[in-house]
Structure 1
Amino acid sequence: MAAGHSVDPARWRMMFGQVMARIAGRFGRVEPRATARAYLLGLLSGVERKNCWQLAEQAGHVRPGPMQRLLRYARWDADAVRDDLRAYAVDHLDADGAVLIVDETGFVKKGHASAGVQRQYTGTAGRIENFQVGVFLAYATERGRALIDRRLYLPEQSWCTDPGRRREAGIPEAVQFATKPRLAAEMITAALDAGISAAWVTGDEAYGQDPHLRLALEARGIGYVLAVACSTRVRINQGRTLVRADTVAGRLPATAWQRHSAGHGAKGPRHYDWAWVHIGTGSHRHLLIRRNRTTGELAFYLCWSPTAVTLAELVRVAGTRWSIEECFQAAKSQVGLDHYQVRHWTSWHRHITLAMLALAFLAAVAADAAPDRHHPARSNDPISLTVPEIRHLLAAVFHPLAAMPTARLLHWSAWRRQHQATARRSHYRRRLGEPAG
């Protein structure tokens, strides 16, 4: 390996061994433990569809039976592995200013037998489709982000009150109907009880509109920046009258707006105009308003913190919410989060947990390979290793005979990242209005 190169196959193999050592005790027998290792390696491979059949072929099995048994019948606790995954992500990504993010994503399914499936709306497709919906919790810091918990949403009418359907899908009797914000609150509580240190929670309107979730966070002393609808009514200047959020925004003077970046996107800083207004009776409760500098479109957030904070800090947390969307995209495109072909409650949780663990491993490798934050990058440096790039390079790490020679693989990785760095600089100059010279 070239000196100074951030790709270190020996270290990556060691890190994967550490992942397996962390979860090994969750499998009582050597056979499912070995199959779990093969399953994870398959999720990290370049296999086109990461279902049991193709993962078994990738692993060199003669039939998919062992993979299918791992998800359905083998004796192991997916929630215990989830606990290990959560601790692993924090160990490798922990940094000041950590944010917990809640959101949901849909899994398109045919038929009606898969646990929790029904025709329902999800933002994944922006329309009503035949979906399973999972509610997820992500952990995000400046070092990276990862999905650390999951709940399968069980619709009340079509599933919770149908014993026969529940029995066929293997849904435990103890599982009853819970709203998506309640599922989010359960995951946040579990993370905090496990000792995760996070100062903030953020999420979209589906969660920001729920007063029970906001009260639960305040009771735990955890600050939040939660999106709400423009019709949300707030109390201004401790007055008795409640005023719509969009009405409040319309009354603000020009001097109330400040330009801040909500974080870096693919094409540069995401600059918006921001304003904040003190609401309610508490000293640390605000309505945060974001205005698109081009279209004038507004977005609104209810904010609370146990101590005084700056507008810039609230903007930072609001901008972090998009990290979970990036997690969903990476989990589905890189480690097959939505590639499963299972119907059973247990099988869904097992596949999703292993896919989340594979994603957390990629995030840990990316954080480990990142340049020293105390030494600023030079203008001609390639971009840091990304999760997709690492997943691509793992072909040479775990399957060296099936991949192109390592030197050639590294050459193309360096070329891609240098090209991406050049494109990024061009986008940044255009976004910031700087001269190209």
Structure 2
Amino acid sequence: MRNIERISENLNSNYFQMQHFISESNWDGRSVINLVAQEVSQILPKRKLTGLIIDESGWVKKGVKSVGVGHQYCGNVGKTANGQVAVFACLSNGDFASMVDSRLYLPKDWCDNPSRCDEAGIPQEKRIFKTKLVLAADIIQHLIDQGILFEFISADGYYGNDASLARSIDSMGKLYMLDLHADQTIYLERPELVIPPRKNTKGREPQKLKPTINGLSVKKYLDMLTDNDWSTLTVRNTAKGKLKGDYHFAKVYIWDKNINSIEQRLLVIRRTKSKEGTIEIKYSFTNANLEQYTPESLAYMQAQRFFVEHCIKESKQILGIDEFQTRLWKTWEHQIALNFMVSSFVLKEKLTCFDELPLLSARDIKEYLTFKLYKQMTEEEMLDKIHNRHKIRQRDINRYYLDS
């Protein structure tokens, strides 16, 4: 069931009515996404801290008509490509998670092209260029305004290396656990920002502020640590058992050069070793502190980012979120809303069946439903589906030649 033709076949529904429902019908996709978020927030277990996990994802497109399409980085192919990109958010608690929001990234050349926006049906208020960082902040604030419950926000290094997003989250009164790149500069003591004295009589006088002490990258800081600086903690369940790691926590400072601000962070470093002996390092910043939160809680928050990646993977590989044509803004929102509804259904089934089937996956649920549907199909019904499919295809072929 990867496109409207297949969906209408399996539901025994009218192809053109289904096409209209997805692409042109006036139902409000944003309202449905909001309802899904509220439902997920209510049914998600509250056994541990609930996280709002942010990540972006893209999918390659062949043409230039899909809304927001452009030559941009697509994580699923690991390089820049012609595609759509969106920022996603899921709610996660313990081993359970589900999608709750998404915002399509609209490249600047789209925002600067009114006729292209008109053709794609993009609302006027959505034609303002926003970076992915701003879209992430919009998602967080929107979910807070909707009354969605979560204790912390997590995201990868693209979002963690931008101090403005951390400040924005902090101003909302929320905790964050944001991953970092290895070249992030830190200061082990709070530096002062001063204009350095002039070194000689030649040239202009210094005008830019400089820190009074030297900083170093988190990678260089890691190299300074000894075995006694680490604590071994068990974090969460995985498909291969318990996730364990060595953890180091340190109060550090950063210098945001954009606003010349010195800000305190808690640096969290995780060191894990694979069965092959490979050492993997993960760096994060948080505004939490060890006086209020245990090392186990901080380690748990850092490890939860796995679940947004898992939700995106399920949405693509199992639910087919990236396999539809979405030329209109409304179509894209409809597609996302329906996909999120199915994601919340999958969460409900996992929770309902947990005692008997604790390892139940989205793929299991899909295959079971497919079995139940196809098991009841007779040969006559299958032939009717084939004939109907051919009629629709022939009609599309005829329409193509008439239009051309």
Q: What TM-score, normalized to structure 2?
A: 0.80
**Secondary structure class of the residue paired with 1:87:** helix
Correspondence for 2:272: 292
Among 266, 270, 284, the residue aligned to 2:243: 270
Question: How far apart, CA to CA, are the structure 2 residues paired with 1:310 and 1:280?
Answer: 21
| Bigger Cα Rg | 2
Aligned 8 A contact 1:93 1:143 in 2: no
Letter in 1 for 2:160: G
Q: Does 2:129 align with 1:146?
A: no
Amino acid at match of 1:192: I
Deviating beyond 6 angstroms after TM superposition, the runs of 4 or more aligned structure 1 residues are 281-284
Equivalences for residues 102-251 of structure 1 within 5 A: 102-142=54-94, 144-156=96-108, 158-175=109-126, 176-240=128-192, 241=213, 242-251=215-224
Counterpart among 229, 236, 239 of residue 256 in structure 1 = 229
**1:387 correspondence with 2:362:** yes
- For 1:348 and 1:397, the matched residues in 2 are separated by 29
Structure 1 position 363 matched with structure 2 position 347: yes
Segments of 5+ residues of structure 1 without an aligned counterpart are 1-46, 372-380, 404-437
Query: Which whole-Å deviations, capped at 9, do the CAs of 1:198-233 have from their partners, x for residues lacking one?
Result: 111111011111222111111122111101111111
The superposition leaves residues 166-213 of structure 1 with CA deviations (integer Å, 9 ceiling, x where unpaired) of 111111221111111111111111111111221111110111112221
> How far 1:319 sits from its partner (Å)?
0.8
In structure 2, what is the Cα distance between the partners aligned to 1:392 and 1:356? 19
CA offset at residue 270 of structure 1? Answer: 2.7
1:283 Cα deviation after fit: 11
> Is 2:330 the partner of 1:346?
yes
Whether contact under 8 Å (1:81, 1:353) holds in the other structure is yes
Pick from 48, 65, 71 the counterpart of residue 22 of structure 2: 71
* CA drift at 1:90: 1.3
Find the aligned partners of 1:342 and 1:67 in 2 and give their Cα distance: 14
Q: 86-95 or 259-268: which moved more?
A: 259-268
Give the Å deviation of 1:243.
2.6
1:296 maps to amino acid: I
Task: Give the counterpart letter for 1:127 in structure 2.
Answer: K
Pick from 259, 266, 286: which aligns with 1:303?
286
Q: Is the 8 A contact 1:260 1:271 kept in 2?
A: yes
Aligned twin of 2:302:
318
The one-letter code of the counterpart of 1:108 is V
Higher mean C-alpha displacement, 294-303 vs 342-351? 294-303
Letter in 2 for 1:91: Q
Aligned residues: 344
Residues 68-87 of structure 1 show CA distances to partners (whole Å, capped at 9, x for unaligned) of: 21122212111111111101
Which amino acid is the alignment partner of residue 246 of structure 2?
D
The aligned amino acid for 1:360 is S
More strand by share: 2
Local SS of the residue matching 1:183:
helix
Q: Is the 8 A contact 2:350 2:358 kept in 1?
A: no
3-state DSSP of counterpart to 1:186: helix
Rounded Cα–Cα distance in structure 1 between residues aligned with 2:371 and 2:80: 41
What is the alpha-carbon distance in structure 2 between the residues aligned to residue 382 and residue 182 of structure 1? 40
Which one of the candidate residues 39, 42, 46 is aligned to 1:91?
Answer: 42
- Give the structure-1-normalised TM-score: 0.74
* Higher helix fraction (1 or 2): 1
Paired AA for residue 329 in structure 1: K
The alpha carbon displacement at 1:102 in A equals: 0.3
Would the aligned equivalents of 2:53 and 2:89 in 1 still touch at CA under 8 Å? Answer: yes
